[in-house]
Structure 1
Amino acid sequence: MSDCKLRAKNCGGCPLLGLDYAAQLKQKESAVRALLGKYGPVHPIRGMDVPYRYRNKVISTFAPAAGGKLTSGIYAARTHKVLPVESCLLEDEVLDKVLLAVRAAANRCRYQPYNEDRGTGLLRHCLLRRAVATGQVMVVLVTAQPVLPGAKNFVRYLLEEAETRGVPVTTVVQNYNPRQTSVVLGEAEKVLYGKGFILDTLCGKTYALSPRSFYQVNPVQTAVLYGLAVDAARLTGKETVLDAYCGIGTIGLTASGKAKQVVGVELNRDAVRDAIGNAKHNGVKNARFFAADATAWIQEAAEAGQRADVIFMDPPREGSTPRFLESVARMAPKRVVYVSCNPETMARDLALLTQKGYRAEGFVPVDLFPQTAHCEVVGALSRL
């Protein structure tokens, strides 16, 4: 199972695929140790039993195929040339089949792929999500024009093609993206079938996922990651918890049952709306969510004398900001739990936090993206 014919064609999706999985884990663990070991002990990396087929989200770009038909796939590394993909070792097998159904339905409708250079054609991308716990599947068709001609026929064909392949389609959404951009989704959306969202369960809570919701792509390892983060917080039920960069509220809601109250802060308004809905949906009464830049929000809160006993921070790849970390120090929580998707920016941020009176108790790397170079880390810090 450890090789794929797309690698020879310059697919950049799995740079570590040729490397034995135990060796991949060792490489990632030692990279984390080299970056973070001076701050505290780095514990053994948590790998997967089956390090394939873990992605619950797929983005596929449409391209022309022989005979006026269309196909779809992934950009070859460092190019804008689409490599057609029939099957991918990282993608959920159900989504592989759903994607073939989407292509078949699009070809039955005679839809044309969008041409970036000429600005012609209709279909740009297809985004698929599968909720592993419930089996629900979302199809998002990204179009370059506001109207999808024969949309009802497309839905009918898609459901037929999916049934032929023995896979479900729960909801279909058209997303309109007219801009010259490599960003996949545009702002405007229209639900063509179903409710426009799917439900998934993670760490005992249920989440509604809409097309733009940020949600980790590896459900098995996300449960490991969030479990480690909540354990690292050592909650007793008396704490006020701040969940910074909270997304749709996953870490804060996972922690809510063990905390007195949870406050989540997130810049993306769609995500905050989802987080509020997710709290309601799960009957969580002790969580509040704010749409704001985490740095600006925590700075104002710290200046106003607001306190948090524990801060969870899960910043984007570029890490946190000095202003954010200074405000954390002003709030003086007993514990900070740092979840990082980029150990290099985490090391930079730790240099500042340790100057401000925090000590790292230890780090656990988690392999969320087998066959790729990425590694997540959970770090626990306590105030001296």
Structure 2
Amino acid sequence: MGAGWKGFAAWSWSFKLRGVVRILGGKAKGVPLKVPASARPSPVRLRKALFDYLRLRYPGKGRFLDLYAGSGAVGLEAASEGWQATLVEKDPEAVRLLKENARRTGLPVRIVPLPVEVFLPEARAKGERYTVAFMAPPYPLDLVAAFQALLESGLVEEGGLYILQHPKDLRLPLGERRAYGENALTFVEV
């Protein structure tokens, strides 16, 4: 292949990631989401499996926390499914698009424009509690340390779940792990 094809492949891969992210179910099913350049949206297969599982486990829903929210694909999906969702993201462009995506979906969500490491102790001090806390940190970040900080925050109520999205090659010494393509989810029950 010539140099032109390499450029095309890179462009089409970028377009795929940024161009087809949609809400999969619930009230806002099918609504497309704008994705900031800094985001790495959770794959469709992973999001579908996650919400199929949560639908069975928590039919009455509850409070959902999406950390490192990026485009809001997971947190807005939760809101579309009937959860009370809080989305935490520090990147200003991502926060702007999160607000726009929330308006487009018509879903009531709380968007917190803070770094996760600032939000966790503040939320704990305020006594905030969630049924599910989902974390999909940027992969260059120390995922184990980030997840450990979330676990130590105590933000999830009894019977709830801490969930980490991570590369399938990472194996944590706790919880239940489920792989979806190149990604995996680790579930830790409280």
Shared fold per TM-score greater than 0.5: yes
Q: 1:258 aligns with which of 81, 94, 104?
A: 81
Match of 1:214 in 2: 39
In the TM superposition, what whole-angstrom CA distance separates every residue of 1:83-126 from its partner, at most 9, and x where no partner exists? Answer: x63325x938xx46xxxxxxxxxxxxxxxxxxxxxxxxxxxxxx
Q: Per-residue CA shift, 1:288-339, capped at 9, x if unaligned? A: 1111111220111112211111111111222143433311xx2233112221
Does 2:171 align with 1:364?
no
- Choose which of 146, 154, 164 in structure 2 pairs with 1:338: 164
Tell whether 2:98 aligns with 1:291.
Answer: no
Indicate the residue corresponding to 2:186 in structure 1.
379
| Unmatched tracts of structure 1, length 5 or more | 6-83, 97-126, 134-199, 355-359, 368-374
Q: Report the secondary structure of 1:274's partner residue.
A: helix
Change beyond 3 A, Cα 1:323–1:335: closer
> Is 1:230 matched with 2:37?
no
Consecutive unaligned residues of structure 2, counting only runs of 5 or more, are 25-29
Q: Secondary structure at the match of 1:323?
A: helix
* Offset of residue 256 of structure 1: 1.1
Q: Kindly name which structure, 1 or 2, has the bigger radius of gyration based on alpha carbons.
A: 1
1:5-44 counterparts in 2 under 5 A? none
Distance 1:341 1:272, change over 3 A: farther
CA RMSD of aligned residues (A): 2.9
* Structure with higher helix content: 2
Residues 67, 88 of structure 2: 8 Å contact kept: yes
| Deviation at residue 262 of structure 1 after TM alignment | 0.2
Query: Conserved in 2, the CA contact under 8 Å of 1:232 and 1:337?
Result: no
Distance 1:206 1:249 in 2: 11
Residues of 2 paired with 1:238 and 1:202: CA distance?
17
Counterparts of residues 108-127 of structure 1 (less than 5 Å):
none
- Over the matched positions of the two proteins, sequence identity in percent amounts to 21
Distance verdict in 2 for CA 1:343–1:295, change over 3 Å: farther
SS in 2 for 1:205: coil
Question: How many residues of Structure 1 are paired with residues of Structure 2 in the alignment?
Answer: 176
**C-alpha distance in 1, partners of 2:97/2:46?**
21
Note if contact 1:366-1:377 (Cα within 8 Å) is conserved in structure 2: yes
Spell out the pairing of 1:114-263 with structure 2 (5 A cutoff).
129-130=15-16, 133=20, 201-203=22-24, 204-209=30-35, 212-216=37-41, 222-233=43-54, 234-263=57-86
- Structure 2 partner of 1:87: 5
4+ runs deviating over 6 angstroms: none
